[in-house]
């Protein structure tokens, strides 16, 4: 039997939503061990002068707790 914990993080990228998700998972995995998945809770963009300049995601990252 395993027990999981869920933590909420946000991440951003100038390239797109997929890049923001990847950056968030990569960074979370440096601190959290046994990351098994993520739920993308929200998408957001930053607009400047009529152009999208940043993509942001809020996600809930699931990781398994060690015994």
| CATH code (residue 47) | 3.30.1660.10
Compute the distance between CA of residue 6 and CA of residue 50 in angstroms, rounded to an integer.
Answer: 36
Q: Is the dihedral of CA 18, 32, 40, 11 positive or negative?
A: negative
Half-sphere exposure of 43 toward its Cβ, with a 13 Å CA cutoff? 7
Domain around 18: 4-64
First and final CA of the chain: distance in angstroms?
10
Of 44, 48, 22, nearest in space to 35 by CA:
22
- What pTM does this model have? 0.89
5-14 pLDDT, tens digit each: 999 999 999 9
12-61 pLDDT, tens digit each: 999 999 999 999 999 999 999 999 999 999 999 999 999 999 999 999 99
Total domains in the fold of the chain: 1
């Amino acid at each position: 039997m395993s027990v999981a914990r869920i933590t909420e993080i946000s991440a951003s990228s100038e390239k797109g939503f997929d890049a923001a998700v990847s950056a968030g998972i990569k960074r979370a995995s440096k601190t959290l061990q046994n990351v098994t998945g993520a739920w993308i809770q929200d998408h957001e963009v930053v607009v400047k002068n009529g152009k999208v300049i940043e993509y942001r995601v809020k996600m809930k990252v699931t990781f398994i707790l060690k015994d």
